[in-house]
Structure 1
Amino acid sequence: MIPQGGTFAQMAVQQPSRTYRLDPVTKRIAGMTDGLEAVKQAVLKILQTERFEYLIYSGNHGCELSEVPGRGQAYLQTELGRRIRAALLQDDRIRDVQDIEITVVGDEATASFTVVSQYGDFDVSEGVRPRV
């Protein structure tokens, strides 16, 4: 007999923030991290990972910075800001990305912005190298 009626409610569960701490100098795992430090690490990891490039990550992880179509500095600044914001907001610990400033010099760009997370706010300045 097939059950009739009833509803199926799926609840979103907040995943824990505790994760391995990655040492950027030695490129090795160096203990554990949690809270704001884990979010800071996740932001840098998202910006350094090209979306859809690695099968180990889902399509929600990473940033599409390698190829930005179009010419012109104003378009490049706007598009990079949009892509960075979209990539970071995939992490449910990040509530907003504010004050995005993109500085383009030659074929390199530097992105500076403020990340608003559930653990606190912090500033990020990261170099990106889009191929145009």
Structure 2
Amino acid sequence: MIPQVNGDNDDLEIEFEEEIQTSKTNKLDLVRKRVIGYTDGLEAIEQAIYKAIGTERYDHRIYTWNYGAEIAKLFGQPIPYVYSELKRLITEELTHDDRIDVVDAFLFSNNKNKVSVSFTAHTVAGNIEIQTEVAV
């Protein structure tokens, strides 16, 4: 039996409420390698950025294949290639996060087998300046 609706379909209006999730998470002490309390807002987003670009994609079973950056494939590549690919990989990884709108202002330098990269992540909580090194 097929349900029948009498009259106008305006009675079938469904209302949804969008709930914004907080970014409250465990705070990582990377120096002592332990969890110390909680963090939220801009600090939580910054921690998520460092964690995402510091995690190699496909290497850890606890993460989906959409998490992490494929930086290991840059080992041994020419420096100009590393610069362009690093920019693409970081931008691709970080813009998956709904809290990050744009990643720009990339600056690169290299010293022997390390590439230093700095960039700005424009987030819903404000701008974050990130600096990190990658072995190549």
Q: Common fold, TM-score beyond 0.5?
A: yes
Q: Could you list the per-position Cα deviations for residues 55-108 of structure 1 after superposition, in whole angstroms to 9, with x for gaps in the alignment?
A: 101122111101127843222211111111111111111111011122122221
Equivalent residue number for residue 42 of structure 2: 36
The structure with the largest alpha-carbon Rg is: 2
Pick aligned residue for 1:67 from 73, 76, 81: 73
Matched, 1:116 2:126: no
Pick aligned residue for 2:92 from 65, 78, 86: 86
The aligned amino acid for 2:135 is R
Pick aligned residue for 1:52 from 58, 62, 67: 58
Larger RCO of the pair (alpha carbons < 8 Å, separation 6+): 1
Aligned residues: 129
CA shift at 1:14, angstroms?
4.1
The aligned amino acid for 2:57 is R
Under a length normalisation based on structure 1, what TM-score does the superposition of the two structures give? 0.84
Matched residue SS, 1:66: helix
Matched, 1:24 2:21: no
Mapped to 1, the partners of 2:18 and 2:87 lie a distance apart of 29
- Superposed CA RMSD: 2.6
Unpaired segments of 5 or more residues in structure 2? Answer: 5-11
User: What is the identity percentage for the equivalent residue pairs of Structure 1 and Structure 2?
Assistant: 37
Equivalent residue number for residue 108 of structure 2: 102
Under a length normalisation based on structure 2, what TM-score does the superposition of the two structures give? 0.82
Matched residue SS, 2:72: coil
- Structure with higher helix content: 2
Mapped to 1, the partners of 2:20 and 2:100 lie a distance apart of 12
